[in-house]
Structure 1
């Protein structure tokens, strides 16, 4: 399987200027090819786009400076545009899984800049990496590469940092897990409630967000195109990067621990896009990083030969007692502890949901979406008060 290894680089002032020239040429070729595709009735082939936007453009006076950089990143830019259009058409036709992919857009100078080199455009040299027409760039090797890289992408983020991202082939690591399974219930106040009783809280970003809010207000008052606005934009970008790095560090450590200690990991499929419509919780939900945590767990499960399962979002994990299977129905979010009227056990809302998620994910309990009208609790377990919920047979699915 293929994986990415990213390292920080520290180019010299001259190399920074060469990289800025490279990013500008890659951006111009992408925008020229995209404009040509939008003007054409039929999508041109990559070979035609390379001939028009690179080979013939170098001979014109307006694009003669394209010869100052390596030709490999320019060709890869056109190839990436073809992949972007292919993903867009496959998504619209229903051939691609996941969310709908938007059509490719024009690149801007102020956004994150990238340029990709294949094997003919770079070479590893001890503590440095040689890039074609850039030179040997000082690299901070935080870990060794497991195999020979097939390509490398040079990245410049909005905060002025530079990275190298290598694509390498890695072998899955197989080692036994101490625990058979774990269910995780994600939330806001407590980021993760595990079925083993452990609770994980998110780091405190409040101070950084207050400082970011103040800097964004000052940025909005700066005159466009001025040096003071550019300095404030860089300050805002560095604060955003600091928050992102802090969140990614927390998510990576938690996902690595979960994957390393458990053979089966079960999560609930959350409707994040629907939750974002709640104006009171939209900011907190978007800052939590639930999807990033899920994608990290899924990727690391493939790497370490673990079984990662996602149960249906319609499974009422918070409406059932994890001890006896009695269903008490929907509860308000303000209710954090529940006493089961059938068995008398007091449950923490999140801990009870995590146990139910684990049982559904492992297979001890059928998925509610797949069971249809199959009952889960008996009539004897239902209280005498009228209820709008369907009655379920307890013995059918909760006989563990």
Structure 2
């Protein structure tokens, strides 16, 4: 079993320069591949594979024009090409949308470093040896295991910080938790993040004062950055205003990273609490997040809840602890069914937060009623 450990690293000035050069080269090569693949498909009607582009890049393009591509790790450049190749293949299969060019300010490109030699990716308590970069200091001591086989690592940039994700070969877990509950139904939503059938409620963290304060700061910094573009759009690049604009962009990126980390940490906390309850199974609902995002009144709130991240993290934890993860269909009327008698209420709006059954006259919280229906659902799919 393979497991990734992600943590922040501390780079010296020379290492930062080398890392920025590597990430910038990977982004340039990725965009170059997208451009060449599009032109090749228009001319021939065939897809340009990543291997053919890599041969042309090393044998023709580098020798004629941009020889500085050879200054960085060749494996990182090759992985950027293969990422573009995979993006086109997923588009042809109908899995994803058409590949788009990577922008520098979005910081979407990562540098990949495999283990080619025995001296590469040596892990100690406080540092790790990265190819072409050297020994890199870890911010969390002892987080990455030193007694495991390291396969590869990936370095990404978030704001003005750098993070490393180390892929290690781990032993398959043999211990299985002893179930204390027969099962748990989890109903996720916007008012409350998760309402569980065992009377546990996880509130929406986006409604807390801390998140609201950061959102207010983010809005203010975005306006400041927008004004700087309008006021200085006719000036040259080398003037002071351009440097100040870059500083403002970094402030904005740091706020985005902080908000993302807070939301993801809370999502992991919710998953850990569900797993610690030691249920026999956990049942969730297959939400149509793509359709929910089309509602302009709810799209921002839906995006902030990280439903996909919650599902993926829950699936990984359930596999690790031997818990069965069930998923009912998105058309299953969990909110409209009565958990007591099974009667279905056809007319139920979002404003009705209390479920009132016309058959057995029971009154119950709408979300808690949905979690009970998910718990006792008989038609489901087991996620693996």
Q: Same fold by TM (over 0.5)?
A: yes
What range is the shorter-chain TM-score in?
A: 0.7 to 0.9
String of CA shifts for 1:185-234, please: whole Å, max 9, x gaps. 11212111111121110222211111111111111101355222212211
Aligned partner of 2:250 in structure 1 is 234
String of CA shifts for 1:143-173, please: whole Å, max 9, x gaps. 233731211111112x111011122233245
Q: Distance in 1 between matches of 2:305 and 2:222?
A: 21
> Any idea what SS the aligned residue of 1:124 has?
coil
Q: Any runs of at least 4 consecutive aligned residues in structure 1 with deviations exceeding 4 A, and if so which?
A: none
Aligned partner of 1:135 in structure 2 is 134
Q: How does 1:154-233 map to 2 (within 5 A)?
A: 154-157=155-158, 159-170=159-170, 171-172=172-173, 174-203=176-205, 204=208, 205-223=211-229, 226-233=242-249
String of CA shifts for 1:63-91, please: whole Å, max 9, x gaps. 1222322222122222222222222222x
CA contact (8 A) 1:181 1:358 kept: yes
Larger radius of gyration: 1
User: TM-score with structure 2 length normalisation?
Assistant: 0.86
Q: For 1:84, which of 60, 84, 87 is the aligned residue? A: 87
Aligned partner of 1:150 in structure 2 is 151
Q: Distance in 1 between matches of 2:215 and 2:142?
A: 29
Q: For 2:54, which of 44, 50, 54 is the aligned residue? A: 50
Alpha-carbon distance, 1:241 to partner: 1.0
Q: How does 1:382-397 map to 2 (within 5 A)?
A: none
The size of the alignment, in residue pairs, is: 353
> Any idea what SS the aligned residue of 2:150 has?
coil
| Structure 1 unaligned regions, length at least 5 | 93-99, 368-400
CA contact (8 A) 2:281 2:325 kept: yes
Q: Distance in 2 between matches of 1:282 and 1:25?
A: 35
Q: For 1:114, which of 92, 101, 110 is the aligned residue? A: 110
Q: Distance in 2 between matches of 1:125 and 1:329?
A: 59
> Any idea what SS the aligned residue of 1:44 has?
coil
Q: Distance in 2 between matches of 1:83 and 1:193?
A: 38
| Structure 2 unaligned regions, length at least 5 | none
Alpha-carbon distance, 1:142 to partner: 5.3
Could you say if the C-alpha distance between residues 189 and 23 of structure 1 is closer, same or farther in structure 2, counting changes exceeding 3 Å? Answer: same
User: TM-score with structure 1 length normalisation?
Assistant: 0.82
CA contact (8 A) 1:85 1:104 kept: yes
Could you say if the C-alpha distance between residues 58 and 288 of structure 1 is closer, same or farther in structure 2, counting changes exceeding 3 Å? Answer: same
Alpha-carbon distance, 1:125 to partner: 4.3
Q: Distance in 2 between matches of 1:296 and 1:195?
A: 20
Q: Distance in 1 between matches of 2:280 and 2:338?
A: 25
RMSD: 2.0
